[in-house]
Amino acid sequence: MKIEIRNLTKRFDGVTAVNNLSLTLEGGKITGIVGPNGSGKTTLVNLLSGFLPIDGGTVILDDAIAVKKIRPHKIKSYGITRTFQDIRLFEQMSVMDNILVVLTERNLWCALFECHNPGHLQKAEEVLRMIDLWDKRDEPASSLSYGQRKLLEIGRAVSMEARVYLFDEPFAGLFPGMAGIVESILKQLRNQGCAVVLIEHDMDLIRGLTDYVFVLDSGVLLAEGRPHEVLRDRKVVEAYIGN
């Protein structure tokens, strides 16, 4: 899987949050996206997941499909999924249902009467055990702790069996034990050949986990390259200090 972004632009009144940005996300790699607050990282994810309409530019999937308009309910069929910087779960549902809800063939007429098949239940169990929430499966999502909510959201993304994962600060606020789970999930997805995008402020994590890094500043690409080299770059250091 490969996503090529060409001249992507997004303007809000007064601010150009993403400015003529071109970059490529490749399968089998964890790609870091870093940059000071307000540099456009989340906006980029919002554009790629159809949350915000694209003002200019093109997104090319697998060297084949060029899209200028991404409809949110289509991203599943493109193999793209994401998480949110401010966790967004289905609060009314149980932990288990938050996973089961994505494991659905969208044949609506059947879905009216059909219950989940054993395959779905097995998959949900697998994911919930991985994020250590199997024991909480029947509890409402709203009852979970911050870290557990973060993990559940990541688990929901993993259940989608996508090929491109956009993780917006998945480590933020996690204790080491939980961060370890997230880390192993990210590596596992990379080993499966998925394109994994990691937005992160902790440079040690970026150095330790990513294969390639893009640095954004005010919506433009400031630098790119292997993490050790890029993070030593003067421009990059200044952008962070200047913030």
Ligand X SMILES: Nc1ncnc2c1ncn2[C@@H]1O[C@H](COP(=O)(O)OP(=O)(O)OP(=O)(O)O)[C@@H](O)[C@H]1O
Backbone angles phi, psi at 223, to 5 degrees: -160, 160
Q: Residue 171: count other Cβ atoms within 10 Å of its Cβ.
A: 19
* Binds 81: which of Mg ion, other proteins, ligand X, none (CB < 5-8 Å by kind): other proteins
Q: Which helix (H) or strand (E) holds 208?
A: helix 203-209
Q: Which of residues 103-132 bind other proteins (CB under 8 A)?
A: 104, 106, 108, 111-116
CA 142, 106, 75, 170 torsion: positive or negative? Answer: positive
How many angstroms separate the CA atoms of 20 and 22, rounded? 7
**80: Cβ contacts below 8 Å, ≥ 6 apart:** 3, 48, 49, 162, 163, 164, 166
- Among 19, 42, 49, 81, which residue interacts with Mg ion (rule: CB under 5 A)? 42
User: Which CA distances in Å does 238 have to 17, 32, 58, 214, 231?
Assistant: 20, 19, 30, 15, 11
Q: Which does 51 bind (CB under 5 to 8 A by kind): Mg ion, other proteins, ligand X, none?
A: other proteins
77-116 residues near Mg ion, rule: CB under 5 A:
85
Instruction: Pick what 38 binds: other proteins, ligand X, Mg ion, none; C-beta below 5 to 8 Å, kind-dependent.
Output: ligand X
Query: Is residue 101 at the binding interface for other proteins, with CB under 8 A as the rule?
Result: yes
Residue 93: contacted member of ligand X, other proteins, Mg ion, none (CB under 5 to 8 Å, by partner type): other proteins
Within 138-157, the residues that bind other proteins by CB under 8 A are: 156
Q: Give CA–CA dist 99/124, Å, rounded.
A: 6
CB 85 within 8 A of CB 169: yes
12 binds other proteins (CB under 8 A): no
Q: Is residue 64 part of the contact set for other proteins (CB under 8 A)?
A: no
Task: Using CB under 5 A, list all residues that contact Mg ion.
Answer: 41-42, 85
Residues near other proteins (CB under 8 A)? 49-51, 72-73, 75-77, 81-82, 84, 88, 90-93, 97, 100-102, 104, 106, 108, 111-116, 156, 160
